[in-house]
Amino acid sequence: MTLSFSKISLATILILSLFSSIASAHVTVIPKTSTPGAWETYTVKVPVEKESATTKLTLKIPAGVEFEQYQPVPGWNVTLQKDANGKVTSITFETTGEGILPGQFQSFSFVAKNPGQAGKAAWDAYQYYKDGSVVEWTGDESSKSPHSITDIVKATANQMPGMNMQSAKETPKTATTTAATNNSLPLILSIVAVLLSLVGIGLAFRKR
């Protein structure tokens, strides 16, 4: 019984560690859920999954989402691609320095208006590395390089139906804080798994 518990604890640690490394490698956009017609402050998190720096990121604006403005980040230039009607279709962040180094990540925040109807907003992203390679985060959720998705759902009785423009402009710090909290979750889970394993080992020795 003790041996079985130890094996389970070890397997738990390995699974959580693998999950942490996979989850942290994806380019993600938060929040994952928002409401129709809301002015939302979105944050895209860009980690580095190679032994080469990330020097540029291009994020496609999903159909129905209206880009409004971005939060400037020191050391990064921003280029907006627009269609014939002047609507922003993509935003590109390009470094003026070394970029995002291995073991680091960078967050970029912007304000956009959600579609008026419920649905899914798929954020296609293209991550450019210094070594010349490009990772296309454009696949579905089961692919090796999935795009990030925001579910646009109707507000419940406990939620605000939308966000006014002024509130959206004042919330980039909140969005960044949320991103940092999400980034720490895999680490916390791994630590909990290690503690559970140590408790199991301690109980096994006491039984002897």
pLDDT digits (tens, 9 = 90+) for 184-207: 555 565 666 656 666 565 655 565
Q: What is the enclosing helix (H) or strand (E) of 83?
A: none
The token pair that represents 35 in the structure block: 């409401």
Write the pLDDT tens digit of every residue in 75-132: 999 999 999 999 999 999 999 999 999 999 999 999 999 999 999 999 999 999 999 9
Q: Give the β-pairing of 148-152 and 33-34.
A: parallel
Q: What strands, in cross-sheet order, belong to the sheet with 119-123?
A: 33-34, 148-152, 119-123
Say what the pLDDT of residue 85 is.
95
Say what the pLDDT of residue 2 is.
47
Q: Give the β-pairing of 39-47 and 134-137.
A: unpaired
Alpha-helix residue ranges (DSSP H) falling in the chain: 2-24, 165-169, 172-207
Is the per-residue pLDDT at 182 higher than 90?
no
Say what the pLDDT of residue 94 is.
98
Domain ranges in the chain?
26-182
Query: Do 90 and 81 touch, CB atoms closer than 8 A?
Result: yes
Q: Which CATH class is domain 26-182?
A: mainly beta
Mean pLDDT in residue range 21-29? 69
- Per the prediction, the chain carries an average pLDDT of 80
Nearest to 171 by CA among 88, 93, 65, 68: 68
Say what the pLDDT of residue 204 is.
55
Better pLDDT: 108 or 3: 108
Phi, psi of 136 (to 5 degrees): -100, 110
Per the DSSP assignment, residues forming a β-bridge with 45 are 28, 107
Say what the pLDDT of residue 195 is.
65
Query: Do 35 and 56 touch, CB atoms closer than 8 A?
Result: no
Say what the pLDDT of residue 164 is.
43
Is the per-residue pLDDT at 60 higher than 90?
yes
Write the pLDDT tens digit of every residue in 162-178: 444 444 445 444 444 44
How far is it, in rounded angstroms, from Cα 6 to Cα 30? 37
Count of other CB atoms within 10 angstroms of residue 179: 21
Q: How many residues would you count in the chain?
A: 208
The answer to which of 69-73, 106-110, 140-144, 168-172 has the lowest mean pLDDT is: 168-172
Say what the pLDDT of residue 102 is.
96
Query: Do 96 and 72 touch, CB atoms closer than 8 A?
Result: no
Distances from the Cα of 155 to the Cα of 37, 125, 169, angstroms: 11, 27, 21
Say what the pLDDT of residue 87 is.
97
Sign of CA dihedral 43, 49, 54, 58: negative
Say what the pLDDT of residue 88 is.
98
Furthest-apart CA pair in the chain: how many Å? Answer: 76
Query: For residue 160, what pLDDT band results from cuts at 50, 70 and 90?
Result: low
Say what the pLDDT of residue 3 is.
46
Sign of CA dihedral 69, 146, 28, 125: negative
Nearest to 107 by CA among 29, 38, 166: 29
